[in-house]
């Protein structure tokens, strides 16, 4: 069960503010020194806190014979305060959502090194579980000859379809002949691919294979990936089956 102190702190009051407010509540109207005694605070600290509570509309005062007497405003005022905060948040919520969306649209990158690092990129492709397009350097298979069959198996288990554009080779022609058509479509293009590209979801991965010096970068950007998709589609029309 929530305590009174926890409830007040949940409304934005500090521990000392909650203490002073609760100390004043049973006193009715009281002078600062009486409130300070009840709250186990010195007079100056208690007075500063009371001023803060008054500014929040949770405490009021009257002056009798030149002396201030404080009292709490009706406890229902706490709900009024909460509603005011909610109304303020609702007012700026559309702007906050726009800022959050803008942040999501920003380009995010992750860099990996070495062949083990590049495996993390392929694992991300599996995790994303979207159709993937490969503009592939033949060195991909040469460098990942033990891992790549595992990747292909996991991809097929998930039902992930891929398109592959790569330079012609006996290995890839044999792979195309044996691979299920529901899993992959392969086309050949007689060009040298300096870096493998993997396009999946709203991400594009760029990989260069050179043993322990291999490098991979994942770029998460709808705009960049859209451009890469256009380039891939263009090359797909030029590639041969």
Q: Is the pTM of this model over 0.85?
A: no
Cβ 7 vs Cβ 79: under 8 Å: no
Paired strand residues for 62: 69
Q: Provide the pLDDT for residue 82.
A: 66
Q: Provide the pLDDT for residue 4.
A: 76
Could you say which residues of the chain have pLDDT below 70? 2, 78, 81-82, 99-106
Q: Give the domains, in start order, of the chain with CATH numbers.
A: 4-77 (1.10.10.10), 107-238 (3.30.870.10)
Q: Give the C-alpha separation, 182 to 160, whole Å.
A: 9
pLDDT digits (tens, 9 = 90+) for 98-151: 766 665 556 788 899 888 888 899 999 999 999 999 998 877 777 787 788 888
Cβ 41 vs Cβ 16: under 8 Å: yes
């Amino acid at each position: 069960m929530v305590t009174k102190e926890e409830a007040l702190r949940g409304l934005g009051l500090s521990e000392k503010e909650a203490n002073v407010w609760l100390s004043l509540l049973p006193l009715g109207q009281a002078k600062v020194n009486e409130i300070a005694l009840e709250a186990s605070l010195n007079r100056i600290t208690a007075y500063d806190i009371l001023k803060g509570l008054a500014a929040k509309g949770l405490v009021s005062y009257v002056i009798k014979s030149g002396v201030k007497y404080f009292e709490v405003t009706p406890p229902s005022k706490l709900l009024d305060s909460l509603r005011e905060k909610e109304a303020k948040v609702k007012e700026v919520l559309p702007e906050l959502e726009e800022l959050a969306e803008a942040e999501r649209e920003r380009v995010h990158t992750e860099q990996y090194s070495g062949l083990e690092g590049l495996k993390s990129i392929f694992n991300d492709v599996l995790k994303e579980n979207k159709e993937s397009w490969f503009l592939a350097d033949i060195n991909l298979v040469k460098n990942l000859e033990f891992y790549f069959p595992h990747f292909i198996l996991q991809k097929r288990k998930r039902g992930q379809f891929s398109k592959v554009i790569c330079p012609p080779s006996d290995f890839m022609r044999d792979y195309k002949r044996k691979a299920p058509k529901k899993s992959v479509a392969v086309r050949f293009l007689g060009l040298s691919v300096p870096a493998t590209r993997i396009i999946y979801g709203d991400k594009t991965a760029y990989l260069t294979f050179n043993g322990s010096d291999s490098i991979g970068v994942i770029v998460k950007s709808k705009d960049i990936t859209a451009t890469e998709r256009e380039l891939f589609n263009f090359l797909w029309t030029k590639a041969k089956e």
